[in-house]
Amino acid sequence: MKFDVFNSVLRLWSHNVKNLHFLIQHENGILKVDDSFYSKFRNLLNKNKMNTISSSNVTPPPEVQGMKTLDRKAFSTIVKIPGIKVPKSEISAAQKAWKSCLFKMKGIKPIAELGNNDPHRETHHLILLDPGKIGSDKLAQEQKEILQNYGLNLDSPTLYEVVLHYENWSVSDIIKAVLPSDAENVTSYSQVGHIAHLNLRTESLPYKTIIGEVLIDKISTIKTVVNKLNAIDNTYRNFQMELLAGEDNYVTRTKEHQCTFELDFSKVYWNSRLSTEHQRVTEYIPHHSVVYDVFAGIGPFSVPLAKRKRCHVFTNDLNPHSFEYLNKNLKLNKVDLSLVKTFNMDGRDFIKTVFKEDLVERIKEYAKLNNENALYQDACKSFVLMNLPAIAVEFLNCEPEAKRIKCS
């Protein structure tokens, strides 16, 4: 019997940042399928895993602009915040009604005691309101009326002095205040375990140390802050990085879809923003399938597929460090190792040898059953994952004879 493996079997998944598609090998060549799958993937990809940094409606003192060495004391200042006196008995109702326009800042309570000299100190509390919301269109008419009934002049509200320190300001408040006014603010970062990873623009580079220190000060889970130095265009898809602040330690652990991954961020490829994509592909592949993960990295497809779907996984990466962590992560997640074979070789060799040999063996087994239908069903449950953006397709012409595998 002559069986053309590639005609019916091979579903290739290839990821290219702008162009995600399934490739199905077809009689006349590779058929690119960018149908509903693509749009589903794209929607999911957009919900990426960047951490955004939000800022408040008040600002640190203007003198901090251009600061190159972090001087935390220079962020102390007094700001004037609109406030309203509310009888103590009505505080909880007022707090509820104005929830969306209360003054929110770390370490500052929006409901405060009135000053010692205030004649209403015994009977009233002070409610501080967000200066960005008062008088703005964001305030619902109903809320405006209630505020006015309490005597607040929306156009010219009574202002109360509030003392703010470095501890009260958000990451964004501080960085925005330090950067020159024409520089774009740093609005997001990625985090892998204890490592925050930035991609700073040229104009922000003179302030990189402050940016790193502020992230460590403000976000308790961050212990190391790095800036990316080059584009990810080397073979192993990792990048050169510069330590901006914190510990010089790049070995970390991160969780993805109930699996734990250990990695050395300076030596292997890892991108937390692919989390949704990893999950989508893992969910798409049926239980007990056979999976050939040609560019496996540290195992974000292979580990959950073997652990949760009990797939037979042949998993490979050229980078010896990725290979080391791939093996570690299989053990860390208590994967049944009888289901998995790991390889540290070039993807072309992997396809020419491991993939081809295994597929031929399985096809021979099924051929013995002389049941074309069973053969087809099993073959259709074989998946080749080729997650190497831009060039994965080039690995397909590695072995012309692999396109015709004869089973007798």
Ligand X SMILES: C[S@@+](CC[C@H](N)C(=O)[O-])C[C@H]1O[C@@H](n2cnc3c(N)ncnc32)[C@H](O)[C@@H]1O
Residues forming the annotated binding site for S-adenosyl-L-methionine? Answer: 278, 317-318, 346-347, 387
Q: Map residues 236-275 to x or -, x wherever contact with ligand X holds by CB under 6 A.
A: xx-------------------------------x----x-
Whichever of 46 and 181 has its CB closer to ligand X, that residue is: 46
Q: Map residues 282-321 to x or -, x wherever contact with ligand X holds by CB under 6 A.
A: -------------xxx--xx--------------xxxx--
Whichever of 84 and 268 has its CB closer to ligand X, that residue is: 268
The rounded distance, in Å, linking the Cα atoms of 291 and 335 is 15
Distance in Å, CB of 102 to ligand X, minimum? 42
Q: Which of 117, 235, 338, 373 binds ligand X (CB under 6 A)?
A: 235
Binders in 375-394 for ligand X, by CB under 6 A: 387-389
Q: Which of 157, 312, 347, 366 binds ligand X (CB under 6 A)?
A: 347
Size of the site for ligand X (CB under 6 A): 20
Task: Classify burial at 45, counting beta carbons within 10 Å of its beta carbon; exposed 0-12, middle 13-18, buried 19 or more.
Answer: middle
Known binding site: residues?
278, 317-318, 346-347, 387
Place of tokens 């998944």: 13
Binders in 53-72 for ligand X, by CB under 6 A: none
Does position 117 interact with ligand X (CB under 6 A)? The reply is no
Paired sense of beta strands 290-293 and 111-112, if any: unpaired
Name the residue number minimizing CB distance to ligand X.
297
Q: Which of 190, 322, 329, 382 binds ligand X (CB under 6 A)?
A: 322
Q: Are 71 and 189 in contact (CB under 8 A)?
A: no
Whichever of 224 and 319 has its CB closer to ligand X, that residue is: 319
Distance in Å, CB of 5 to ligand X, minimum? 21
Whichever of 229 and 232 has its CB closer to ligand X, that residue is: 232
Q: Is 242 left (phi over 0), alpha (psi -120 to 50) or beta?
A: beta
Distance in Å, CB of 346 to ligand X, minimum? 5
Whichever of 189 and 270 has its CB closer to ligand X, that residue is: 270
The rounded distance, in Å, linking the Cα atoms of 303 and 322 is 13
Distance in Å, CB of 337 to ligand X, minimum? 20
For residue 48, give both structure tokens.
């990426």
Whichever of 166 and 295 has its CB closer to ligand X, that residue is: 295
> Rule CB under 6 A: which residues touch ligand X?
235-237, 269, 274, 295-297, 300-301, 316-319, 322, 346-347, 387-389
